[in-house]
Amino acid sequence: MTCGILYNSDIDADHKATLRNNSEISSSKRKGSEDLAVNMKTENPKKIVEKLQKRFNETIQEFDKKIQLFKTRYERIMADKVDLEQSLEKKEMALKDYREKSDTLEKNRSMLSTKYSTLKKMIKDLKTETWSQEDDIRY
């Protein structure tokens, strides 16, 4: 007998759970679908078609708005992309110019250093060959 009572309570619990699941499912349906189902039974097919057509057109308009929004965003993003690419090109050109000028300066510095060393050596050689004490005092 106790088993029968447990069995009945299990059935009741399962039944309540099933009812709750059904209510969750029906509440998750798209709003207005229950009204449409009830109205379909009472209205003539022409009105049903008109309502469905109206909903369809509204949905299409919503999607058109979203598409326009995405197009606008896409165009803005593409314009930003073009601006960034142009900016990058300008910066790359500036970097290239900087490197060229830096290389030129380094070559000039090296050349001047070589000339300075050569002149210094020439002066030293001149001092040792023809330099007198009077020249030391004078210069």
Res. 21 pLDDT band, cuts 50 70 90: very low
pLDDT confidence of 3, banded at 50, 70, 90?
very low
- Segment (H or E) for 91: helix 45-130
Q: What is the pTM of this model?
A: 0.44
- Rounded Cα distance between 94 and 38, Å, is 72
Q: Which amino acid is it at 28?
A: S
What are the pLDDT digits (tens) for 53-108? 999 999 999 999 999 999 999 999 999 999 999 999 999 999 999 999 999 999 99
pLDDT value at 38 more than 80: no
Q: pLDDT, tens digit, for every residue of 98-127? A: 999 999 999 999 999 999 999 888 888 777
Residue 103 confidence (pLDDT): 95
The pLDDT of residue 125 is 78
Burial of 36 (C-beta count, 10 Å sphere; 0-12/13-18/19+): middle
